[in-house]
Structure 1
């Protein structure tokens, strides 16, 4: 990676292939069905362009009660993560064993109106800039990823400049740490003092029927109970809180075994709490996130999400969500929502 690049001059886009997904190992996924990147190619120094197909019938990303249906903001977030990881391995030179740990991120979708679902899968292009400096030994310890999302204007919904053209839907940036598996294990042991349990253990408990009683799906904008991440909602004065209790058999959130709750699970919980506080799940869309993670979310301690009580109606809201575990804030995610069709 390098220092910020002046992108004022237009970059000639490369021809991208939307025919098939790339190898799942390049995006750190076990299931082929959870891979959305179909191509990744270099454009300029430390600038990589990726093609993404946005699905129409995914059990997690298309499971929403809002109408008209829109491509999920978390789907774009996941697509951005996959594009960044694939580009870093294929064209930037990070070794295959490198983990990308998110420290902070920001996703803004000012072009959300272009993300309504059409008759065909959405065709997204993600341009990714890699910013950072290596150590003396040539290793990257930390860096920044800056992305632009451009969606095909003629296929993915209203707006745009016709077939083959694209319109800008939003932008995403994240500050990341780069660790190998050994460094990750050392960090986890240093933080906990004991080995961390694994999600596979809790998945077995869920299968045995020992899970918590979760919020009704429709109250958090969902249709399927499998996708609900909250239980035990409480209102205390001007604050609403809920326990974060995702289902570990949800293979979109837990595609492989983890020793903590991944960032995407916390983002989903924050989005659901924001929808819950709105009181209008049928018309409340998430259109942006700003997040900072200070510690890993442990599996073996209760975790609660807290947010100010909201108000119904159209218009944009920002909902700050705190995640508290063992009496300390471990993450803060601010959710931007729009009430009514954006």
Structure 2
């Protein structure tokens, strides 16, 4: 049965709101060049800094690959939240398209059953709230975004993030002050990748950890022509690439399992420059968790915790996932 082109979403205090999945939102509103990288399809303003956003997750994608051929990639949740934040900032809060968004904190808690592949693309609804909104001279400068994700009326999970917004001219001055906003030299060759199977990838170009004899420390591979990480040119390592490094480090520490990361806590402290070497450090945390830090020139730029469940464990998944308002089927681990 094909997925409906439109969904009428019931909100007890707002009545019913309709969103559709027939086409994507304009790619410029989510800072993407390729239409194939746009996930969002529609949105509605519910008032009082609350919004309903529609998204469609593809079953097949060059980077967002299914986990163990059973689950949607959990980092689709991150990209969906990222695009929702951009879309709403530009449309609901009138942030100019050329402004820069700097992530500070990111968290998610997911229900593994909600990520199951079910014979087609997933129609996702996000109940989004903006809070801790800060303005300067009438323009939005910082915010917290929280989103509850549902699929066919059932819970997928919750994600949260905080971000700052910087005008293009201010961003350029800031980067130049650090001596880092300059024309890029010819791209140096990235280190050879780890074997793709070790980090549960099918293609070497999606492996972001470099080969090394060390068990818990790897050089970060930055490939500037990667179609997802660098869909648009950037003078620094994108946040999604840093999170993928965390996910692959978690997997590399647990080679006997196929880890589905259902819990994430991440902090972005400073830029990672694409022309300088970065190393990914990891330590186990619990049965299927890891603390990970990305360090450059002795400074920790990104750090956090990621944990999950073994997607390849027989009999794990029940085949049904929680309806909205019920408790989680499992979260694998918890974080602060």
TM class, shorter-length: 0.7 to 0.9
Give 1:93's aligned residue: 94
Match of 1:51 among 50, 54, 58: 54
What pairs with 1:53-92 in structure 2 (closer than 5 Å)? Answer: 53-62=56-65, 64=66, 66-92=67-93
Q: 1:240 to 1:302 in 2, by over 3 A?
A: same
Does residue 337 of structure 1 match 2:324?
Answer: no
Q: Unaligned 5+ residue runs, structure 2?
A: 1-10, 318-336
Does residue 295 of structure 1 match 2:266?
Answer: no
Give 2:259's aligned residue: 284
**CA distance in 2: counterparts of 1:294 and 1:57, whole angstroms:** 33
Q: 1:288 to 1:138 in 2, by over 3 A?
A: same
Shift of 1:31: 0.6
Contact 1:230 1:246 in 2 (8 A): no
Give 2:240's aligned residue: 264
Shift of 1:53: 0.6
Does residue 195 of structure 1 match 2:196?
Answer: no
Q: 1:183 to 1:55 in 2, by over 3 A?
A: same
Contact 1:73 1:288 in 2 (8 A): no
SS of corresponding position for 2:271: coil
Task: Say which structure is richer in helix.
Answer: 1
> Which whole-Å deviations, capped at 9, do the CAs of 1:112-138 have from their partners, x for residues lacking one?
212111111100011211113444621
Shift of 1:11: 4.6
Normalised TM-score (structure 1): 0.83
> Which whole-Å deviations, capped at 9, do the CAs of 1:259-288 have from their partners, x for residues lacking one?
01011100001100100101135x211112
Does residue 307 of structure 1 match 2:308?
Answer: no
Match of 2:221 among 228, 238, 245: 245
Q: 1:20 to 1:289 in 2, by over 3 A?
A: same
Give 2:8's aligned residue: none
Give 2:321's aligned residue: none
Shift of 1:27: 0.4
Match of 1:24 among 27, 34, 46: 27
Does residue 172 of structure 1 match 2:159?
Answer: yes
Does residue 273 of structure 1 match 2:254?
Answer: no
